[in-house]
Structure 1
Amino acid sequence: MLRIAAGVELVSLVVLFTNIATVHWDGVSSLVGPAHGCAYLIVVVLAFARRAGARVGSAAMVPGFGGLIVLRLLAGSADRQPLDQRGLKSEGG
């Protein structure tokens, strides 16, 4: 869910900036703006719900790129866990 929200947050921000820089259609802004806001809030809520620490929480507050930063931080913290605490996946199945 966090990965989807982070993607929507980034893509919607790019669409909003492109719209402002080019044609500035009000319909695009009124449609994509609330979608961006919802995705941003979902990223923040999901980041704090994971209780991964202040670093992840503050990274989630960065509009537009915060979701991607959170995903990167969480992936890095999963790599540092001891092997017996990771969710090991079976190969070939």
Structure 2
Amino acid sequence: MTTVRTLRIAAGVEAFSLVALLANLLTTHTPAVSSLVGPLHGTAYLVVIAATWQVSDAAMPGARWAAAVPGVGGLLALRRLRSDGA
């Protein structure tokens, strides 16, 4: 699996898990959902940061910093990498 593909998957999981956590917070606030989705979100966040640092084109301005934004950093980094020609 390529690093960019890993970044795409992790970015999607990161964004989806953030939506799930916020939906849970705004509706039922079920502790089981938070216990399951919270660590998933944290792991996806760390994978996004690590994968962005592994991509050689991530040295482009802002891609690595964009990955550090919690929740949507993976999507921002992918957008930055795509606009830079990766």
Mark yes or no: TM-score above 0.5.
yes
1:27 positional shift: 0.3
Larger radius of gyration: 1
Aligned to 1:78: 85
Distance 1:77 1:12 in 2: 27
1:20 aligns with 2:4: no
Distance 1:71 1:49 in 2: 13
1:39 positional shift: 0.3
1:57 aligns with 2:48: no
- Structure with the bigger percentage of helix: 2
Fraction of identical pairs, as percent: 51
SS of structure 2 residue aligned to 1:63 = coil
Distance 1:8 1:29 in 2: 15
1:44 aligns with 2:59: no
**4+ runs deviating over 2 angstroms:** none
1:33 positional shift: 0.3
Give structure 2 stretches of 5+ with no counterpart: 1-5
TM-score normalised to the size of structure 2?
0.87
Higher RCO by CA contacts (8 Å cutoff, separation 6 or greater): 2
Distance 2:7 2:55 in 1: 10
TM-score normalised to the size of structure 1?
0.80
Q: Which amino acid aligns with 1:42?
A: V
- Cα-Cα RMSD: 1.2
